[in-house]
Structure 1
Amino acid sequence: MEWQLEPILTRFQTLVQSLLASLPNVALALTLFLAFWLASGVARRSVQTLAQRAGQPAGIGLVFGRLVSWALLTLGVLVALTVIFPTLTAASLFGALGVSGVAIGFAFKDIFQNLLAGLLILITRPFRIGDQIVSGEHEGTVEDIQVRATLLRTYDNRQVVIPNSELYTNRVIVNTAYDRRRLAVTVGIGYGDDIAQAKRVILDTLAGVEEIRRDPAPTVLVRELADFSVNLEVRYWIDPPIRREVVESQDRVLEALKPALITAGIDLPLPTQQVLFHDQTEETDGDRTRQREGWPARADNPRPRAALTRHPETP
């Protein structure tokens, strides 16, 4: 069987000729796309400048600038394709996009959902870049609000990428929404201590801590009669309400309260437990043959230890 090289050469020659003929169109398409690319950069910076002049947060300028840039780049790609392929008209191109729009919508449903949530976050502004928030198990500082997700920097210097739809639909605690924040620490005193005296000592001690605001004034409340202590809740306000100030103020408050309470003779009790053996109960506690409590009910149960050690003359 002989190979026919002439048809192959003819087709290759035709391909080369068509490629050479399309080089001007390719060059024009690249030039147009470069122009759209430069225009997208200028438009992005212009939107950011306008948002800044309008007093909008930096995140709004960033996101809307990116959207305008992407729209111009997409338009540049479409124009370049119509130049390279003259048979591809704008009507047919947008018709194809319309037919495939449903499939694209289902495929990129999460992306569009996060995009819309990001825009709503930037417009409604429940939090801004630089705020310290708590979302689920994550807490940190908002570093950037992007089109798809929000970047959160945790206090141990890790980055958490949270989808915008999750932040918009779930609960978010904004710790820096206001200029001041109330904190509370718990102090346990003994049952034999004077509660009023302990409150006075605590309030006098807090008056010497510089980070605490004088208005509103600190307060001390009895919160619980616990197993081994009377728990007092010490409430006070600080500003600014950032995480570092929270931790440092709690450290200074507890460090100042401990020696002050001890000097005033107020006990800071530790957990205590009392262990009673089974034969340490009193005879008046009931019928010992019916006391189960992990022990078998017997008729020959030993007498209580207290009764065994009682003096014979004692009735």
Structure 2
Amino acid sequence: MTIVLLVFASILAPAHVALAQDDGRATVRLDGRSLFRVGAGQDPGAAVRARRIETRLAGLLQDPATIRPAEVRPHPEGLSVVVAGVPVAIVLPSDAEAAGLAPGILAERWAAAVDAALSQAATRRLSAGARFLTEIQVSIIGAAARLGESAIFVVPRALAAVLVVATFWAIARLLRFGLRTLFSRIVEDVTVESLVKQVVYYAVIGLGLVIAADAFGFSPEAVVTGLGLTGLALGFALRDILSNFVSGILLLWLRPFKIGDQVQVGDAEGTVERIELRATLIRAYDGRVVLVPNAEVFTSRIVNNTADPVRRGSVSVPLGYGDDLRQATAVLEAAARSAEGVLADQPVAVRVAELGTAEMVLDVTFWADSRRRAFGETSSAVRAASVEALRRAGIGLPNPDLRLLAPQDAEVWASLLGPPHDRPPQPGDALPPAR
């Protein structure tokens, strides 16, 4: 942990250096050339003040013939640099303090920089074509200069923020691995383990993002304020993600099922393998993986097949009306009790479930392991045992392909369908064919 703190301190160090370098001042440029730096003063900001000075200098270049050497004159707020009667810039006490110079010396330096820059700029604008080309060149150089100056402050902060996020991501993964090792020894509930690991993991990541924002130059208070102002828009844009996130926490907290349970959620049915904060991973019985959003899981009807370790099953057995019902009931009950997988300490019952036109249906109920594979194998064993026991007892199962039709007046039909020699010929009988 000491090593991690040392690494973290070394990562944050460049961020603080970058913050110290950004003293809240802006650079005044003319034709892409840096003249001097100004502070905020009474203006909304240093950048606004610098742009105003640049605008005054550009205005003087509209008529280069009127340009005169810069002068330093007193001003109510400090000293003013004046060119051809136009107050170009005002040297404030804060500017002199930031530069570490006396106000008069700083004003003279500003005046000299303005004279040199205006002289070069006026030379470049001797003709209309030269002025056009100069303006294009100046725009490109100025944009590149501002981009480079911004990069000096932004790139170190961005690198520091990335390193902070990477460090906290590594810490979060290390904590998750440590918690997994710890829970495997002291807690057997994998659902509680999953809840604690995910909460700790995302909490560390969230803390890392806040510190990274501070390293990048954003105040945590400003970030919170910005999120408060845009909270409504983010709520609408991220409502599904937030709903899944909250539902995931509630599922892990309320625990309608746990990892390893066999559940049915809507059309998805299988074994719960993982409960994440966004979705629940269900392994279907055919091996496919189903990711169900937690919001859908939380609002759907959940059937937990393994909430109890045992489950009652039922097998239907058809029986003919001519068979002995009491004997068949006893045979089926004994067969179910002897089937592999049927719990001996739970009751077995045989009931008449349905009376059809050609057969009756008996339901054999039993109790078995609630897991799908064990339950299916037990149901199959009960069916096989029932068929074998009925055959040994001489009780046949109905054959749907065989039907016995017994007429109501059997003697009349027998006399009519008997051979011709059994009765005298009757009028209307067909004559035998001639030989």
Residue 84 of structure 1 pairs with residue 216 of structure 2:
yes
The correspondence for 2:367, drawn from 237, 241, 264, is 237
Higher Rg of the two aligned structures: 2
Total equivalences in the alignment? 281
Give me the CA root mean square deviation: 3.1
In 2, the alpha carbon distance for the partners of 1:38 and 1:166 equals 32
State the Cα distance separating 1:43 from its structure 2 match. 3.9
Runs of 5+ consecutive residues of structure 2 not aligned to the other structure: 1-128, 408-412, 418-422, 427-435
**Distance change in 2, residues 1:83/1:135 (3 Å):** closer
Greater relative contact order structure (CA < 8 Å, 6+ sep): 1
For the 8 Å contact 2:318–2:361, the answer to whether it is kept is yes
Identity %: 35
Runs of 5+ consecutive residues of structure 1 not aligned to the other structure: 281-305
For 1:257-289, what per-residue CA distance to the aligned partner results, in whole angstroms no more than 9, with x for missing partners?
Answer: 113212322231134798x9xxx9xxxxxxxxx
In 2, the alpha carbon distance for the partners of 1:126 and 1:21 equals 52
- Aligned residue in 2 for 1:262: 391
SS at match of 1:71: helix
- Aligned residue in 2 for 1:293: none
For 1:168-209, what per-residue CA distance to the aligned partner results, in whole angstroms no more than 9, with x for missing partners?
Answer: 222211111112111110001101111100011112222332
In 2, the alpha carbon distance for the partners of 1:188 and 1:244 equals 25
For 1:213-253, what per-residue CA distance to the aligned partner results, in whole angstroms no more than 9, with x for missing partners?
Answer: 121131101111112211100011113x2111122112222
In 1, the alpha carbon distance for the partners of 2:337 and 2:215 equals 77
Q: Give 1:141-220 correspondences, 5 Å limit.
A: 141-220=271-350
For the 8 Å contact 2:271–2:283, the answer to whether it is kept is yes
Moved over 6 A (4+): 309-312
**Bigger CA drift: 161-170 or 17-26?**
17-26
- Aligned residue in 2 for 1:61: 193
SS at match of 1:207: helix
For the 8 Å contact 2:318–2:362, the answer to whether it is kept is yes
SS at match of 2:358: coil
In 2, the alpha carbon distance for the partners of 1:149 and 1:206 equals 41
**Distance change in 2, residues 1:14/1:104 (3 Å):** closer
TM-score by length of 2: 0.58
TM-score by length of 1: 0.77
State the Cα distance separating 1:120 from its structure 2 match. 1.8
In 2, the alpha carbon distance for the partners of 1:110 and 1:262 equals 60
In 1, the alpha carbon distance for the partners of 2:326 and 2:203 equals 68
Residue 37 of structure 1 pairs with residue 37 of structure 2:
no
